[in-house]
């Protein structure tokens, strides 16, 4: 029998949820920002409550216990042996991306980004005085893949110093294979280009038997050339308690990353540290049950979209995000069109792909089915090209 409940619908408006208050009093179901509408596992909440037994909530250094359980978790889950010196604790992915780009190369150098991609990736270059070079993912055989020839061409430019990777990929839901990751890593070694690898969705692999492969586990030389940004917050639905690690074997890159984050990145909450220790110590059935539920949600969404003549979606292998191609609907603002039918999606324009929308299906199935009903209506009512 399942231990965890994913069917209960909670009123998140009363908690000032960013996801649910965005549209005010309008009748719009929010499927945009990537947090889940499920209850946080009780063992995480218990760890937070236990920390609150101490009456002082102040600035907190990285607990030695957290570093230890993280290292044990990485070896247990991925066979990844990490030395404690390689760890840099920080708050969350977005500041980590900026610190990573800033620590490689100099002002005016370039960063290669594969689009579509999580919007903050597209802002890092300008923020950190770098040039941005985009390499579009290609849809081949109903699967989003990297264009290795294009990446090699663009990283061969001497000004290109970093490649930004999202794996599992946000928003397309790809989980890259070992061969794909190896090919990318070898290109970057040949062109002396460091890899910044966002692996925050590591725990959401939807195909039975599939698993996330940390890029840095492909060999010591690749590990030396990689900055891995990783967190438990997506997999355990605690996005509001931000805490993450950068795993950086290369001592020069690590020192530069640490320097880059100092002075503008806030300290991690002691409650976030408590939750992180609980997550990396987890031996429950949470992840298995979560993946099973999300797989069912994905299949419901996939089957529904497949029947709609003006929408399509490539298979989702990981994450809880559907990347819907709505370009056959001839409107100038696709996100606004769906909002007019009561659906709050992330706009593909922000990901570098106009005409697409991102559908977060990590919600109770009763809510998902209401959303799909509205999606079907939006499809049926859509204008047609002249």
Q: pLDDT band for position 143 (50/70/90)?
A: very high
DSSP 21-55: HTTTTS--EE--SS--SSPPPHHHHHHHHHHTTSS
Taking 70 as the threshold, does the pLDDT of residue 386 lie above it? no
Phi, psi of 320 (to 5 degrees): -120, 40
| pLDDT higher than threshold 70 for residue 16 | yes
Residue 2: its pLDDT value, please?
82
Q: Computed over its alpha carbons, how large is the radius of gyration of the chain? A: 21
Average pLDDT of the chain, as a whole number: 96
**β-bridge partners, 324:** 313, 357
User: What percentage of the chain reaches a pLDDT higher than 90?
Assistant: 95
Buried b (16+ CB within 10 A) or exposed e, 281-290: bbeeebbebb
Instruction: Assess contact for 199 and 212: CB atoms under 8 A.
Output: yes
CB 20 within 8 A of CB 30: yes
The predicted structure's pLDDT at residue 159: 86
Paired tokens of 29: 């179901």
Q: Is 150 exposed, middle or buried (0-12, 13-18, 19+ CB in 10 A)?
A: middle
For residue range 178-201, what is the model confidence (pLDDT) as tens digits? 999 999 999 999 999 999 999 999
What pLDDT was estimated at residue 81? 98
Convert the pLDDT of each residue in 249-266 to its tens digit.
999 999 999 999 887 778
CA distance 276 to 270: 10
DSSP codes of every residue in 280-341: HT--SSHHHHHHHHHHHHHHHHHHHHHT-TT-EE----BSSEEEEE-TTS--S-HHHHHHTT
E strands, the chain, in order: 29-30, 87-90, 110-115, 131-136, 138-140, 143-145, 160-166, 194-198, 226-230, 244-247, 312-313, 321-325, 343-344, 346-347, 356-360
pLDDT value of residue 112: 97
CA–CA gap between residue 315 and residue 310 (Å, rounded) = 17
What does the pLDDT average to over 118-142? Answer: 96
Name which of 348, 344, 304, 307 is nearest 326 in CA terms. 348
What pTM does this model have?
A: 0.96
For residue range 308-325, list pLDDT tens digits in order. 999 999 999 999 999 999
Q: Specify the long-range contacts of residues 133-136, CB closer than 8 Å, at least 24 apart.
A: 133/157, 133/160, 134/352, 136/352
Residue 158 pLDDT level (bands cut at 50, 70, 90): confident
pLDDT (mean) for 332-342: 98
In this predicted model, what pLDDT tens digit does every residue of 77-110 receive, in sequence order? 999 999 999 999 999 999 999 999 999 989 999 9
**Stretch 239-248: mean pLDDT, rounded?**
96
Q: How sure is the predictor about 267, in pLDDT bands with cuts at 50, 70 and 90?
A: confident
């Amino acid at each position: 029998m399942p231990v965890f409940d994913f069917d209960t619908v909670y009123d998140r408006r009363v908690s000032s949820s960013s996801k649910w208050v965005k549209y005010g009093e309008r009748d719009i179901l929010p499927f945009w920002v990537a947090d889940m509408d499920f209850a946080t596992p009780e063992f995480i909440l218990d760890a937070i409550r236990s920390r609150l037994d101490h009456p002082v909530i102040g600035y907190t250094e990285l607990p030695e216990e957290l570093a230890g359980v993280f290292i044990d978790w990485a070896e247990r889950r991925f066979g990844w042996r990490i030395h404690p010196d390689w760890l840099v604790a920080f708050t969350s992915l977005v500041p980590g991306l900026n610190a990573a780009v800033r620590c490689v190369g100099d002002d005016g150098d370039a960063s290669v980004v594969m689009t579509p991609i999580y919007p903050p990736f597209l802002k890092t270059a300008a923020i950190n005085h770098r040039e941005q070079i985009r390499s579009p993912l290609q849809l081949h055989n109903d699967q989003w893949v990297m264009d290795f020839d294009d990446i090699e061409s663009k990283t061969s430019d001497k000004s290109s110093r970093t490649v930004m990777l999202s794996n599992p990929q946000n928003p397309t839901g790809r989980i890259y294979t070992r061969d794909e990751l190896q090919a990318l890593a070898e290109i970057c070694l040949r062109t002396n280009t460091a890899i910044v690898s966002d692996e925050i969705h590591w725990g959401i692999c939807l195909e039975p038997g599939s698993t996330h492969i940390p890029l840095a586990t492909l060999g010591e030389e690749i590990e030396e050339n990689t900055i891995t940004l990783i967190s438990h917050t997506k997999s355990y639905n605690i996005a509001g308690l931000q805490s993450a690690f950068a795993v950086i074997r290369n001592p020069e890159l690590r020192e530069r990353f640490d320097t880059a984050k100092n002075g503008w990145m806030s300290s991690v909450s002691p409650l976030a540290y408590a939750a992180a220790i609980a997550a990396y110590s987890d031996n429950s059935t949470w992840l298995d049950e979560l993946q099973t539920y999300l797989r069912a949600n994905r299949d419901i969404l996939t089957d529904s979209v497949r029947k709609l003549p003006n929408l399509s979606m490539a298979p989702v292998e990981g994450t809880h995000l559907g990347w819907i191609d709505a370009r056959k609907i001839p409107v100038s603002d696709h996100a606004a069109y769906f909002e007019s039918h009561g659906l709050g999606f992330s706009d593909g324009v922000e990901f570098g792909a106009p005409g697409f929308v991102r559908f977060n299906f990590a919600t109770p199935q009763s809510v998902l089915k209401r959303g799909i009903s509205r999606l079907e209506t939006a499809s049926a009512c859509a204008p047609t090209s002249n």
